[in-house]
């Protein structure tokens, strides 16, 4: 069987898990009960063995997908020579956190008669466990070694006679509606009236969360407002309801290079996303989520010795992410290996210290003070950076070659010191060796300027003492305030990036040089938005706008973005949808809105002269009682 382009999928979920629904009506990826759990449907990773849940016409059809306005409720409309039908897919958002997610599918025939086919073929534990299928009064139940899934429906489901799974066919008249409700671990009674209530409640939930901007303030102006709303909904879809952790992507092993080995499991929380996540959420007035993520960052600090802090966690705070290969799956478009877990868990990545402290600083700037007993945690992390900033590390790109003295890692060490100093100086009476921190900040700064900038290239380079190798992460130098946007060295870095890492269509590759892996490194979406941000800060707003809009052309018809873009075909690559890409879109739009005056007034960008702690800001709350 063939593999669909990633752009052909929409995403649904409830804050516990995410399912990908193809434009052909097939759910080809769904881990249950959580997004980091083993899959129940994984045709995305093996079209023959992975398992799927398809609802579609039996005849040839054309189809189109759309989201219900300002929701994560997905509609797939099919048209055949003889009729038309729409499948509405959603995962109800309930108050019962202890209940596993359920997937609801509503089939409306608008023009008939229309013959439809149902294929229900779950494969538990990444398709290693093919369940037995039995009929029930309400549908069918799939029972594996340790898992169970029940499908309730008023369609005539029967266990397949020639293989695993269950199937059904039915001819629907115009105006006819049918339902399918998938419960994991427990069955769902067939009650269409309750399903309708669940659909209405789910629509209300998403619309209440995203807010109605008509007539109100818009941080991102009309031009990009709808895309910003969709990106915020994607981000919310990837925020775990229980812990507030942001899932980098809901999928594993979708390749950066089709047929290659750059296939990773992204269903975890990378703390390097923290500062820009906090800013995007706060700017869009989702303060509860920003506050929750801020607390999560502090918890990560509190529960680890600074020297041992992992760069990535599972969504429940655990760090047991042993990387394993699933040899029985062929991989998306035969891109092997398929991996679960992520060996980056054991890497030493210095940049995460800067991102943690910057996220805490940004949260304070948006009105969330540190509790008194948290200051010691922040201080210990800044102290660690004082002593360990000059160690080699794996860097932001998690290379699998030898550790190096990556320039961006040093910039983020400077950021940790700089924001730690500002927090301590603005707070009243906290314990902080400011003289030592200021001296070390200057040491780091001098090292970066002396060893991280190449006069020959007129750009910041990838690693200390490298004369000619570029890294797109250095576009963030002005964003974090290490140098002002109009500094000649920043301008040179932007121009070198445009010349050597950027495509004519606005895409940006991550870096030059060896990373310990074979294959092609496709242009990375978030780097493209970093270039937009750097250009906007540098006052080159026309270039920034043109590149921003060029990158947006690569979004799926639903407005979703993966990790990377194939430079030759324009197809999306890597895990999908990708939080980092949508965070980049949101922040790029915010910086452009700030630079062009197209959005409502907002706190100053990171690194700007106005980016500071207001004299009225509460830095450290003396009472440890939560508000």
Q: Residue 55: what pLDDT?
A: 98
Contacts of 142 (CB under 8 A, 6+ apart): 120, 122, 124, 131, 132, 133, 148, 149, 150, 151, 166
- Look up the CATH number of the domain holding residue 122: 2.70.98.10
Please report whether residue 219 resides in a domain.
no
Contacts of 18 (CB under 8 A, 6+ apart): 11, 12, 30, 35, 237, 238, 247, 250
pLDDT at 548 over 50: yes
Of residues 549 and 308, the one with the higher pLDDT is 549
Residues 362 and 391 in one domain: yes
Is residue 434 very low, low, confident or very high in pLDDT (cuts 50, 70, 90)? very high
What is the crossing angle of helices 351-365 and 287-302, to 10°?
140
Residues 518 and 380 in one domain: yes
Contacts of 41 (CB under 8 A, 6+ apart): 19, 27, 28, 29, 30, 50, 51, 52, 53, 121, 122, 123
Residues 309 and 416 in one domain: yes
Please report whether residue 486 resides in a domain.
yes
Please report whether residue 428 resides in a domain.
yes
Per DSSP, the chain holds a count of helices (H) and strands (E) of 13, 26
pLDDT above 90 as % of the chain: 71
Q: How far apart are CA 427 and CA 438, in angstroms?
A: 16
Query: How crowded is residue 200: how many other Cβ atoms within 10 Å of its Cβ?
Result: 10
Residues 380 and 453 in one domain: yes
> Of 158, 185, 210, which residue sits at a domain end?
210
Residues 285 and 152 in one domain: no
- Look up the CATH number of the domain holding residue 316: 1.50.10.10
b/e 237-268 (16+ beta carbons within 10 angstroms → b): bbbbbebbbbbbbbbbbbbbbbebbbbbbbbb
The bridge status of strand 74-79 relative to strand 62-67 is antiparallel
Under 8 Å between Cβ of 341 and 349: no
> Of 210, 233, 266, which residue sits at a domain end?
210
Residues 204 and 250 in one domain: no
Q: Residue 614: what pLDDT?
A: 60
Under 8 Å between Cβ of 18 and 35: yes
Interval 62-81 mean pLDDT: 97
Is residue 170 very low, low, confident or very high in pLDDT (cuts 50, 70, 90)? very high
Q: Residue 57: what pLDDT?
A: 97
Name the least confident of 160-164, 322-326, 342-346, 622-626: 622-626
Please report whether residue 357 resides in a domain.
yes
Please report whether residue 198 resides in a domain.
yes
Of residues 562 and 187, the one with the higher pLDDT is 562
Enclosing domain of residue 136: 6-210
Average pLDDT of the chain?
90
Name the least confident of 219-223, 370-374, 550-554, 607-611: 607-611
Is residue 601 very low, low, confident or very high in pLDDT (cuts 50, 70, 90)? very low
Cα torsion for 336, 337, 339, 344, to the nearest 10°? -110
Please report whether residue 220 resides in a domain.
no
Written as six digits, the tokens of 349 are: 């990545």
pLDDT at 470 over 80: yes
Residues 286 and 162 in one domain: no
Residues 304 and 183 in one domain: no
Under 8 Å between Cβ of 569 and 248: no
pLDDT at 600 over 70: no
Residues 45 and 131 in one domain: yes
Residues 237 and 206 in one domain: no
Interval 231-260 mean pLDDT: 93
Is residue 218 very low, low, confident or very high in pLDDT (cuts 50, 70, 90)? low
Contacts of 409 (CB under 8 A, 6+ apart): 349, 350, 351, 393, 395, 396
Residues 475-496 have pLDDT tens digits of 999 999 999 999 999 999 999 9
Residues 192 and 283 in one domain: no
First to last CA, the chain: 55
Name the least confident of 165-169, 281-285, 439-443: 281-285
Q: Residue 615: what pLDDT?
A: 53
Name the least confident of 399-408, 540-549, 601-610: 601-610
Q: How far apart are CA 347 and CA 359, in angstroms?
A: 21
Query: How crowded is residue 363: how many other Cβ atoms within 10 Å of its Cβ?
Result: 25
Under 8 Å between Cβ of 476 and 445: no
Under 8 Å between Cβ of 566 and 582: no
Residues 168 and 244 in one domain: no
The bridge status of strand 114-121 relative to strand 26-31 is unpaired
Is residue 577 very low, low, confident or very high in pLDDT (cuts 50, 70, 90)? very high
Interval 16-30 mean pLDDT: 98
> Of 147, 177, 210, which residue sits at a domain end?
210
pLDDT at 597 over 80: no
3-state secondary structure of 157: coil
What is the crossing angle of helices 579-596 and 225-237, to 10°?
150
pLDDT at 466 over 60: yes
pLDDT above 70 as % of the chain: 93
Is residue 187 very low, low, confident or very high in pLDDT (cuts 50, 70, 90)? confident
Residues 112-126 have pLDDT tens digits of 899 999 999 999 999
Q: Residue 219: what pLDDT?
A: 65
Number of domains making up the chain:
2
The bridge status of strand 370-371 relative to strand 620-621 is parallel
């Amino acid at each position: 069987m063939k593999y669909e382009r990633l752009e052909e999928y929409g995403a649904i979920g409830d804050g516990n898990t995410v399912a990908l629904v193809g434009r052909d009506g097939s759910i080809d990826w769904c881990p249950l009960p959580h997004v980091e759990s083993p899959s129940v449907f994984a045709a995305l990773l093996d079209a023959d063995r992975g398992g799927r849940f398809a609802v579609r016409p039996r005849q040839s059809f054309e189809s189109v997908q759309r989201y219900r306005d300002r929701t994560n409720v997905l509609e797939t409309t099919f048209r055949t020579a003889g009729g038309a039908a729409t499948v509405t897919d959603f995962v109800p958002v309930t108050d019962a956190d202890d209940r596993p997610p359920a997937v609801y599918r509503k089939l409306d025939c608008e023009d008939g008669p229309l013959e439809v086919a149902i294929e229900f073929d779950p494969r538990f534990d990444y398709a290693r466990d093919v369940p037995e299928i039995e009929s029930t009064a309400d549908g069918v139940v799939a029972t594996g070694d340790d898992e169970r899934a029940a499908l309730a429906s008023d369609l005539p489901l029967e266990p397949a006679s020639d293989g695993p799974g269950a199937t059904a066919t039915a001819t629907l008249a115009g105006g006819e509606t049918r339902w399918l409700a998938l419960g994991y671990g427990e069955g769902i009674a067939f009650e269409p009236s309750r399903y309708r209530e669940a659909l209405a409640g789910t629509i209300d939930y998403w619309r209440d969360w995203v807010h109605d901007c008509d007539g109100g303030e818009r941080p991102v102006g009309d031009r990009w407002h709808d895309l910003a709303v969709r990106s915020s909904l994607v981000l919310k879809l990837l925020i775990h309801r229980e812990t507030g952790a942001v899932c980098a992507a809901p999928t594993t092993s979708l390749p950066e290079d089709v047929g290659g080995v750059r296939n990773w499991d992204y269903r975890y929380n990378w703390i390097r996303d923290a500062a820009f996540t906090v800013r995007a959420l706060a700017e869009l007035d989702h303060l509860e989520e920003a506050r929750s993520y801020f607390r999560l960052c502090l918890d990560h600090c509190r529960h680890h010795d600074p020297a041992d802090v992992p760069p990535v966690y599972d969504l429940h705070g655990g760090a047991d992410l042993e990387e394993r290969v699933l040899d029985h799956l062929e991989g998306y478009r035969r891109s092997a290996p398929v991996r679960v877990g992520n060996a980056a868990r054991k890497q030493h990545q210095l940049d995460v210290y800067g991102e943690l402290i910057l996220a805490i600083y940004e949260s304070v700037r948006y009105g969330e003070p540190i509790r008194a007993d948290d200051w010691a945690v922040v201080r210990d992390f800044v102290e660690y950076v004082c002593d360990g900033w000059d160690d080699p590390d794996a860097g932001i790109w998690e290379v699998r070659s030898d550790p190096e003295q990556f320039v961006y890692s040093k910039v983020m060490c400077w950021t940790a010191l700089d924001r730690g100093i500002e927090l301590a100086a603005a707070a009243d009476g906290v314990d902080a060796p400011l003289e030592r921190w200021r001296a070390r900040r200057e040491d780091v700064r001098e090292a970066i300027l002396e060893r991280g900038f190449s006069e020959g290239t007129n750009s910041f380079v990838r690693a200390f003492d490298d004369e000619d190798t570029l890294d797109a992460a250095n576009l963030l130098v002005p964003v974090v305030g290490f140098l002002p946007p109009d500094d000649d060295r920043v301008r040179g870095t932007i121009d070198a990036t445009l010349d050597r890492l950027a495509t004519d269509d606005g895409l940006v590759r991550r870096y030059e040089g060896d990373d310990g892996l074979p294959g092609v490194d496709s242009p990375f979406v978030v780097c493209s938005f970093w270039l937009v941000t750097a250009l906007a800060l540098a006052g080159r707003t026309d270039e920034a706008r043109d590149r921003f809009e060029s990158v947006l052309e690569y979004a799926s018809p639903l407005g979703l973005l993966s990790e990377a873009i194939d430079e030759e075909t324009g197809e999306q690559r890597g895990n999908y949808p990708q939080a980092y890409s949508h965070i980049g879109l949101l922040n790029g739009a915010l910086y452009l809105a700030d630079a062009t005056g197209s959005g409502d007034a907002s706190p100053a960008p990171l690194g700007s002269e106005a980016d500071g702690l207001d004299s009225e800001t509460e830095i450290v709350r003396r009472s440890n009682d939560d508000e």
